[in-house]
Amino acid sequence: MEKTSFTGYQKLVIAILALTQFSVVLDFMVLSPLGDELIKTMSLTTKQFGIVVAAYSISAGLSGFLTAGFADSFDRKKLLLFFYIGFIFGTLFCGLATNYYYLVIARFITGIFGGVIGSISMAIVADIFALQQRGRVMGFLQMGFGASQVMGIPISLALANVFNWKAPFFLIVGIASVIWILIFIKVKPIREHLAIKKDHSAFQHIVRTLSNKNYHLGFLAAVFLSMGGFLIMPWGSTFSRNNLHVTKEQLPILFMIVGVFTLIIMPVFGKISDKINKVKLFTISTTWMVIMVLIYTNLHDVPFWIVILANLLMMMGVMTRIIPSNALITALPDMQDRGAFMSIYSSLQYLSGGIAAVIGGLIIHQKTKSSPLENFNILGIVMIFIALICVVLIFKVNKVVQAKNLKENS
C-alpha cells in the first residue's frame, strides 16, 4: 500500500502554502466585505464596483496565460518568490489608491502577480504529494480561506471602521512580507520537472497543453466552477448591509463566524474526500449548495441569527465542492505539463470570474448608495444553473482520471 502519511518537510510546505493562500485570498476576499464602504466612499455604481473586482480577475487570467509556457521551465520556488513579491507591491498600490481609476489600475497590477500564485502552489502540491494525499492537502490549503475570514477579514473590517478602507491592504502587505521571507528560507528548490527533456518552445508548450483533449474538461470545469461563485461573492456585504440590514458592527462578526466554521469543516471534508468517491462528494455538496443559494438570495429583513445560519449552511456547500473538484482536476495533467496546465486552469478561473463579476454588476441594481440590491435572486438562479453543469463536467473529469490511472498501472 502506498504511504499516505506526511513527512515533516511536507507538513512545513503545507503550512507555508496555506499561509500564502491566506494572504492572497484575504487580498481578494476583503473587497467583498469592503464593498459597501467602497461604493459609498467613492460613490461607485454597482457596475463600477463590478469592474473593480473584475480588474484583478481579468489581469490574473491574462497573466496566467502569458506565464503558462514558462511555468515548467523554472524552479517553482523561484517562480513563487518572484510573483509573490509583485503581489505585495500591487497590494501596497491598492492601499495608496485615491480614486476609482487609480484603484482599478492597482487591482490590475495586483492580479498580474497574485493570479499566478495559486497555480504555482497547485503545481507544487502535485509535485510533492501523491494523489492519495491531495484531498487532505487541499483541505489544509482551503483553511487559508477560512483563516482569512476568521482572523483576516474581521480584523480588516475593524481597521476599516477605525481608520478607512485602505488599512486592510497595508495589513496584508505586512503579513505577506513575512511569508515571503519564510518561503525564501524554508522551502527547498523544486526542480524535478526540469529533468524531463523538453523539445519545444514556451509557446509550443502552451499550444500542446491546450490541444490535449484530456485537459479540455478540466479547463471547461474551471470556467463554470469560477463563474458560479463570482456571480454572488462580490455583493455579499452590500446585500447584507442594505437588504438584510446587518450593521457595520455585525458584519465582522458574521465573517468571523463563517470563517471559524469553514476552518473546522475543510480538513474534515479533505479526509472524507480521500476516503470516498470524489464525484459523489461533489454532487452531494452541490445539491446542498443549490438549496441554500435559493434560500439565501431570497432572504429579506430577517433576524441576524438567521443571516448567520444561512451563510454558514450556504458556505458549507460552496467550499466543500472545491476539495473534491481540485483533487480530481490536479490528476489530469502529466508531470511535464502540470505547471502549464495549472496556469491555464487558474487563468480561465480568473477570466471567467471577472466576466461573471461584470455580469453580476449589470444584472443587479441599486437606486441609491443605501437602497436594497435589486435582482439579487436572479443571480442565485443563474448560479444554480451553472452549478448543475459543473456536476456533469466533474463526472466526466473523473472518467478521464480513472482511465489515465488504469493505463499507468497496467
Residue 242 has pLDDT above 60, yes or no: yes
| Most confident of the ranges 23-27, 211-215, 391-395 | 391-395
- Residues with Cβ within 8 Å of 119's Cβ and at least 6 positions away in sequence, in order, are 64, 71, 339, 342, 343, 345, 346, 347
* Average pLDDT of span 328-332: 81
Residue 86 has pLDDT above 80, yes or no: yes
Higher pLDDT, 57 or 111: 111
Cα 31 from chain centre: 13
In a domain, 193, yes or no: no
Please answer whether residues 80 and 120 qualify as being in contact, where contact means their C-beta atoms are separated by less than 8 angstroms: yes
> What is the C-alpha separation between 7 and 273, in angstroms, rounded?
20
Give the range of the structural domain holding residue 367, as residue numbers without chain letter.
8-186+202-409
Residue 169 has pLDDT above 70, yes or no: yes
Cα 327 from chain centre: 14
Above pLDDT 70, what percent of the chain? 87
What pLDDT is recorded for position 54?
85
CATH number of the domain residue 370 falls in:
1.20.1250.20
Higher pLDDT, 319 or 292: 292
Residue 85 has pLDDT above 90, yes or no: yes
- Residues with Cβ within 8 Å of 225's Cβ and at least 6 positions away in sequence, in order, are 321, 322, 325, 349, 390
Burial class (CB in 10 A: 0-12, 13-18, 19+), 212: middle
| Most confident of the ranges 100-109, 242-251, 356-365, 397-406 | 100-109
In a domain, 192, yes or no: no
Residue 129: all three cell numbers together: 504529494
Residue 150 has pLDDT above 90, yes or no: no
What is the count of structural domains for the chain? 1
Higher pLDDT, 172 or 143: 172
Nearest partner of 77 among 115, 20, 26, judged by Cα: 20
> What is the C-alpha separation between 224 and 393, in angstroms, rounded?
9
| pLDDT averaged over every residue in the chain | 81
Count other Cβ atoms within 10 Å, centred on residue 199: 5
What pLDDT is recorded for position 72?
63
* Average pLDDT of span 17-41: 82
When pLDDT is cut at 50, 70 and 90, the band that residue 288 belongs to is: very high
What pLDDT is recorded for position 129?
77
Angstrom CA distances, 195 to 130, 188, 192, 330, stand at: 19, 16, 6, 20
When pLDDT is cut at 50, 70 and 90, the band that residue 1 belongs to is: very low
Higher pLDDT, 279 or 268: 279
In a domain, 1, yes or no: no
Higher pLDDT, 35 or 111: 111
What pLDDT is recorded for position 195?
63
- The tens digit of pLDDT for each residue in 37-78 reads 888 888 888 788 888 888 888 888 888 777 665 666 677 888
In a domain, 397, yes or no: yes
In a domain, 194, yes or no: no
Nearest partner of 310 among 390, 242, 239, 366, judged by Cα: 239
In a domain, 191, yes or no: no
The mean-pLDDT minimum among 23-32, 47-56, 190-199, 360-369 falls in 190-199
In DSSP terms, 365 is beta-bridged to 374
When pLDDT is cut at 50, 70 and 90, the band that residue 330 belongs to is: confident
What pLDDT is recorded for position 2?
47
Nearest partner of 64 among 353, 337, 344, judged by Cα: 344
The mean-pLDDT minimum among 33-37, 120-124, 198-202 falls in 198-202
What pLDDT is recorded for position 5?
75
What pLDDT is recorded for position 328?
83
In a domain, 195, yes or no: no
Residue 146 has pLDDT above 70, yes or no: no
In a domain, 196, yes or no: no
What pLDDT is recorded for position 222?
82
Residue 254 has pLDDT above 80, yes or no: yes
What pLDDT is recorded for position 103?
92
pTM check: above 0.75: no
* Average pLDDT of span 275-297: 88
Nearest partner of 344 among 202, 195, 183, 210, judged by Cα: 210
Please answer whether residues 116 and 340 qualify as being in contact, where contact means their C-beta atoms are separated by less than 8 angstroms: no
Count of alpha carbons within 13 Å of 52, Cβ hemisphere only?
A: 27
When pLDDT is cut at 50, 70 and 90, the band that residue 4 belongs to is: low
